[in-house]
Amino acid sequence: VLVALADQVAIAVERTQLVSDLQNSRILSETERLRSALLSSVSHDLRTPLVSIIGAASSLIEADEALGPDSRRQLAETIKEEGDRLNRYVQNLLDMTRLGYGALKLNRQPSDARELVGAAARQLGSALRDNTLILDIAEDLPAIDVDPILIQQVLANVLDNAAKYAPSGSTIAVAAAAGKGDLTIAVSDEGPGIPREDRERVFDMFYRVRAADGQRAGTGLGLAICKGIIDAHGGSIHAEPARTDGTGTRIEIRLPLATDRRDTA
């Protein structure tokens, strides 16, 4: 069933690709060219995990008897991981569409930053690989006035990037501190950092600097969505080096306090 389903999606993706190829043969306006670039980028990003899923599922079916339990488990894990990746990607596309139409609804409520960071960290799971995650978050932080599901998603995205670009065996740190009227959550890693000239553009849609070592190139959507969500909350997000020698990445997110909003309402 899984193979059939994946095949169907692959065919649909193939058709999308065909449409965008056909369009290429005409003289395209800028908008059409952009749409075509977006389509082929999306089809490529959807197809990559699909190919892995189909491959792993086919091996499970065809080499049934010959496979030991370890290999079976590994193939099943590949299907799960790539399925999760697809799921995240489709979620990102949906969020992007909602952000684009200004239709993102915020379900704001007083939320505990510690809990949100904890939930995002749990979501990371095996993506953390052999890196160590340090949470430096006080227990008595004031509540923030946010949509907890969306902010958890932002934190999961930023943590996922940190884990993706961090060198093996390094440390990723999350710190949170309250300021006047807002709360800062910062995620720092010991990776290569983001070059100065790209620091603002990484929040643009489809902008990617480089693929992390040994990692598949990303989609360039994650940080654009994070920025859309944070902006919708009236907060801010930016990137800077984590260390004085310019290496490492520190993503700093500022969000309004719940009390502050009530006071000014």
Nearer to ligand ADP, 60 or 202 (CB): 202
Q: For the segment 204-263, give every residue that binds ligand ADP (CB under 6 A).
A: 207-210, 218-224, 249
Q: How far is the CB of 145 from ligand ADP (least distance, A)?
A: 25
Nearer to ligand ADP, 162 or 186 (CB): 162
Asked if 131 touches ligand ADP (CB under 6 A), the answer is no
Nearer to ligand ADP, 181 or 220 (CB): 220
Nearer to ligand ADP, 143 or 209 (CB): 209
Q: How far is the CB of 201 from ligand ADP (least distance, A)?
A: 9
Going residue by residue from 111 to 130, which x/- string records binding to ligand ADP, judged by CB under 6 A? --------------------
Q: Looking at 6, 79, 194, 229, which residue binds ligand ADP (CB under 6 A)?
A: 194
Query: Can you give the chain as a three-state secondary structure string?
Result: CHHHHHHHHHHHHHHHHHHHHHHHCCCCCHHHHHHHHHHHHHHHHHHHHHHHHHHHHHHHHHCCCCCCHHHHHHHHHHHHHHHHHHHHHHHHHHHHHHHHCCCCCCCCEEECHHHHHHHHHHHHHHHHCCCEEEEEECCCCCCEEECHHHHHHHHHHHHHHHHHHCCCCCEEEEEEEECCCEEEEEEEECCCCCCHHHCCHHHCCCCCCCCCCCCCCCCCCHHHHHHHHHHHCCCEEEEEECCCCCCCEEEEEEEEEHHHHHHHC
Site size toward ligand ADP, by CB under 6 A: 20
Nearer to ligand ADP, 151 or 165 (CB): 165
Tell me which stretch binds ligand ADP (CB under 6 A): 65-73, 148-156, 159-167, 252-260. 159-167
